């Protein structure tokens, strides 16, 4: 499982798809989620605006599994 490091309180599912190189632009998120199954914390999710926070698990079949990790400030 890879770590997806964020420097904000949360990112959206659409942003996560872009960060993992699953899609090439944010505009593809709605289409991708309508055509593919994606899981957040073990549950199927199709809302591109779903907020992913520290500790959430993202499973994108065919791409990989990711754990959201919030970068701690120094």
pLDDT (tens digit, 9 = 90+) per residue, 12-28? Answer: 999 999 999 999 998 89
- pLDDT(74) > 60: no
Confidence at 73, pLDDT banded by 50, 70, 90: low
14-72 confidence digits (pLDDT tens): 999 999 999 999 889 999 999 999 999 999 999 999 999 999 999 999 999 999 999 97
Q: Which CATH superfamily does the domain covering 2-70 fall into? A: RNA-binding S4 domain (3.10.290.10)
Looking at residue 64, what DSSP letter applies?
E
Residue 61 confidence (pLDDT): 95
If 0-12 CB within 10 Å is exposed, 13-18 middle and 19+ buried, where does residue 19 land? middle
Residue 26 confidence (pLDDT): 84
Cα 53 to Cα 4, 23, 24, 57, 67: the distances in Å are 11, 20, 22, 9, 9
């Amino acid at each position: 499982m890879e770590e997806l490091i964020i420097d904000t309180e949360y990112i959206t599912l659409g942003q996560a798809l872009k960060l993992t190189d699953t899609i090439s632009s944010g505009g593809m998120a709605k289409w991708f989620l309508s055509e593919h199954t994606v899981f957040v914390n073990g549950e199927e999710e199709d809302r591109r605006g779903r907020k992913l926070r520290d500790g959430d698990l993202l499973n994108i079949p065919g791409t990989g599994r990711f754990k959201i990790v919030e970068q701690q400030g120094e």
